Amino acid sequence: MSEQTIALVTGANKGIGYEIAAGLGALGWTVGVGARDQERRENAVAKLRAAGIDAFGVPLDVTDDASVAGAARLVEEHGGRLDVLVNNAGTTGNAPQMPTTVDVSTVRAAVETNVIGVIRVTNAMLPLLRRSASPRIVNMSSSVGSLTLQSAPGAEVGPISAAYSPSKTFLNAVTVQYARELRDTDILINAGCPGYCATDLNGFRGVRTPEQGAAIALRLATLPDDGPTGRFFDDAGEVAW
């Protein structure tokens, strides 16, 4: 089995995921670039390698069982195990998302990628993560998934949304349940919020850079063995659920 620390980042071809891959690679780690589109994946891998990073492409559509199973096989071939999984791939889904008028297919699509995709990928990678001495799972969530922040009087945490925000609330809830089941293992699993970053996801309206957004994932990916699990963080500290 490889001595090299090995990580997989989903949705790593652009935006925050790309910067997470770059940041983990800069630590000297081998990084699997999970991405569903061949050309975008190959371009990202080439760019990371040009920066001196030991990156390899992992064809991965988080909504597809066969694709995810193939990704697990590929990661196993590369290192025999997985040390860090960053579930970053995400979608806002189509607009509009007002609860009273939303098309239910919009809700279903957001949940399929942002929640079920995370469960599918995590469970496929768990056998490989269990072979690591210090396995870490990072779920890229959002403060818009915080029920506390969403329901605070006068709060304006993102637009009203029946799909994207609740999908991140659901992801947070799933993160807690994983932590409960895995609490007697070495696996630490946490949710991270990158802040409002300028990416395709929001038409580049975010005020932070994708690199700044990646910082919380890097922190949660490199937690010490006695670090937290089943919690939700951003750069400023703990986020209310």
User: Cβ distance 221 to 22 under 8 Å?
Assistant: no
With respect to ligand NAP, which residue has the nearer C-beta, 131 or 208?
Answer: 208
List of E strands, the chain:
6-10, 30-35, 54-59, 84-87, 136-140, 188-192, 232-234, 237-238
**Residue with Cβ nearer ligand NAP (73 or 183):** 73
Identify which of residues 108 and 130 has a Cβ nearer to ligand NAP in the complex: 108
Work out whether 13 is an interface residue with ligand NAP (CB under 6 A): yes
> Smallest distance, Å, CB 108 to ligand NAP?
13
Q: Which is nearer to ligand NAP, 209 or 222 (CB)?
A: 209
Q: What Cα–Cα distance (Å) separates residue 31 from each residue in 8, 113, 174, 192, 220?
A: 6, 22, 25, 19, 16
Q: What b/e readout covers 25-39, taking b as 16+ CB neighbours within 10 angstroms?
A: beeebbbbbbbbeee
Tell me which of 18, 164, 178, 196 is the catalytic residue. Answer: 164
- Check: CB of residue 103 under 8 Å from CB of residue 94: yes
32 is a site residue for ligand NAP (CB under 6 A): no
Residue type, 21: A
| Count of chain residues binding ligand NAP (CB under 6 A) | 33
- Among 35-43, 99-107, 123-131, 149-157, the segment contacting ligand NAP (CB under 6 A): 35-43
164 given a catalytic annotation: yes
Site of interaction with ligand NAP (CB under 6 A): 10-11, 13-17, 35-37, 40, 60-63, 88-91, 113, 117, 140, 142, 193-194, 196-197, 199-202, 206, 210
Active-site residue set: 164
